[in-house]
Amino acid sequence: MGEELQFKTAGELSDLLKGGSVSSVEIVQAFIDRVESVDDRVRAFNSYDAEDALAQARASDERRAKAERLGELDGIPVGLKDNLAVKGQPLTCSSKILESFVSPYDGTCIQKLKANGAILWGRLNMDEFAMGSSTENSGTHTTSNPWDLDRIPGGSSGGSAAAVAACETPVALGSDTGGSIRQPASHCGVVGLKPTYGRVSRYGLAAFASSLDQIGPIARNIDDAALLLNAISGYDPHDSTSYKIDVPDFRKAAADDSDRKWTIGLPKEYLEENSDAAAIKPVLDAIEFYKSQGIEFKEISLPHTEYAVATYYIIATAEASSNLARYDGIRYTSRAESFDGKDSIDIYHQSRALGFGEEVKRRVILGTYVLSSGYYDAYYLKAQKCRTLIRSDFERAFESVDAIMTPTSPTPATLKGAHAEDPLAMYLSDIYTISANLAGIPGLSLPCGYVDGLPVGLQVLGKPFKEDEILKLGWIFESAHAYKDHHPSL
């Protein structure tokens, strides 16, 4: 039993804990053992504190002994992307500039997890400051895709997705600004959900692009994703952009058996001929499956799709250039040891030059440029207007369909180093995920098959605050297929 705990879902572990047949310490130990056994190859973790995790587990067991279990996740490890603030734990964002930073406070999602009794487990690797789609931009190391160690796990929540796929944690939190939960979930054959903007508090998430970022769950199945989403959702007075709206029971909604007639939109711009049909065959098969269940599909148009990447990279880099200004080498970040020039402004220049990786520099400079004097109207303002057009595309589409289905990624996981010299090509690979962040709508990726042994994800996009609907749609597919039970061999 002890050796199989790491292959169980959070839901299953929760039932086992409730039934008393296993303890949280046993569970946590199983995952520690698993990490020690496979992470030398997967390298999902930046760091983890086994002693602390076991101490949390013991506290959980004590609560359970007194029948004082806090929540459904009490005693269950939740892996954390290394950009989520946990008091007393490192918060590196996989950047050298924060390599020694320890957070003095808990973010709201973390507070909610603590209130639920979850075991806060490890610091998971990511693209530096969430900028990237491969986790190759990490300032620490590159994570490997558990399905093929020569390939990227996707990004920026590559560590989170790989850890879940490799069973190093039953569930994890990631963050998604342009696809950073959904795309790595797709590459790693797991479930990833980006909530509606404002559904989950951003307080405690090191900001990349404030109007696009969301924290979300990565899990092996729909039920676990719903379980985690239940725990972290809700209006937060510490985040002005979080939305005052009721939180349904996502678990219940996902498993809801009622006979609803769905209409799903297929955006013609997403499936045009320049898409490599072979690379997304499992997605097309999945669509056939849904049809076989009586679900209606219709072609829709999202005419401004081709402008999404350009719009995104103006807005995201502009906001990021301002959000990352605080990492200045002056106050709480790594500081350049020596700097030339008697003008001490140089310490900013040198510390940031040493502390930031190439992709971060590229985006900060681009973002600074598009906001600079004389260019604001032409770039930032223009992009915000294009964003309105992209949002309207979705609003119009949702008048006639309940949800939209697309591939999550144009191709499965590429080999490490594939886009090393071509950042633009890397940006273009975000084409399917980016629009959801611009429109603020929720999106789910679930595993729907393989191409050449590599996982492929189906993306389901929903109406604002309708995470329950996309979870339900995902569940319909999942319950008829075995992908959630597949594990990479490590």
Closest separation in Å from C-beta 222 to another protein? 25
- 241 sits near another protein (criterion: CB under 8 A): yes
- 368 sits near another protein (criterion: CB under 8 A): yes
Structure tokens at 475: 């569940």
What's the CA gap between 483 and 478, in Å, rounded?
7
Nearest CB to another protein, comparing residues 3 and 340:
340
* 183 to 222: interface string for another protein, x by CB under 8 A: --------------xx---xxxxxx-xxx-----------
Alpha carbons within 13 A on the beta-carbon side of 382: 13
Is the Cβ–Cβ distance between 151 and 413 less than 8 Å?
A: yes
Neighbouring C-beta atoms of residue 347, cutoff 10 Å = 17
What's the CA gap between 217 and 486, in Å, rounded?
19
Does the annotation mark 156 as catalytic? yes
Out of 8, 14, 24, 81, the active site residue is: 81
Give pairs for 321-325: CB < 8 Å, separation 24+: 321/363, 321/364, 321/365, 321/366, 321/367, 321/368, 321/371, 322/367, 322/371, 323/207, 323/208, 323/209, 323/210, 324/129, 324/356, 324/360, 324/364
| Residue 455 bridge partners (DSSP) | 450
Count the site residues for another protein by CB under 8 A: 94
Out of 60, 156, 175, 351, the active site residue is: 156
Among 28, 364, 405, 458, binds another protein (CB under 8 A): 364
**Is 382 strand, coil or helix?**
helix
Does the annotation mark 157 as catalytic? no
- 424 sits near another protein (criterion: CB under 8 A): yes
Closest separation in Å from C-beta 436 to another protein? 11
Query: Comparing C-alpha atoms, which of 364, 328, 334 is closest to residue 102?
Result: 334
- Contact set for another protein, span 442-481 (CB under 8 A): 464
End-to-end Cα separation, the chain, in angstroms: 19
What's the CA gap between 401 and 266, in Å, rounded?
9
- Residues 6 or more apart whose CB falls under 8 angstroms from that of 102 comprise 88, 89, 90, 91
Among 36, 306, 395, 485, binds another protein (CB under 8 A): 306
- 114 sits near another protein (criterion: CB under 8 A): no
- Contact set for another protein, span 252-281 (CB under 8 A): none
- 398 sits near another protein (criterion: CB under 8 A): no
Closest separation in Å from C-beta 325 to another protein? 4
Among 61, 72, 223, 319, binds another protein (CB under 8 A): 319
Among 314, 397, 461, 473, binds another protein (CB under 8 A): 314
Out of 180, 242, 321, 445, the active site residue is: 180
Closest separation in Å from C-beta 149 to another protein? 29
**Is 102 strand, coil or helix?**
strand
- Site stretch for another protein (CB under 8 A), options 21-29, 183-191, 292-300, 383-391: 383-391
Among 63, 114, 281, 335, binds another protein (CB under 8 A): 335
- Site stretch for another protein (CB under 8 A), options 135-143, 263-271, 316-324, 410-418: 316-324
- Contact set for another protein, span 281-300 (CB under 8 A): none
- Site stretch for another protein (CB under 8 A), options 49-57, 155-163, 287-295, 377-385: 377-385
- Site stretch for another protein (CB under 8 A), options 29-37, 47-55, 140-148, 375-383: 375-383
What's the CA gap between 164 and 155, in Å, rounded?
14
What's at 335, amino acid-wise?
R
Query: Comparing C-alpha atoms, which of 317, 319, 320, 304 is closest to residue 391?
Result: 304
- 378 sits near another protein (criterion: CB under 8 A): yes
For the annotated catalytic residues, the residue numbers are 81, 156, 180
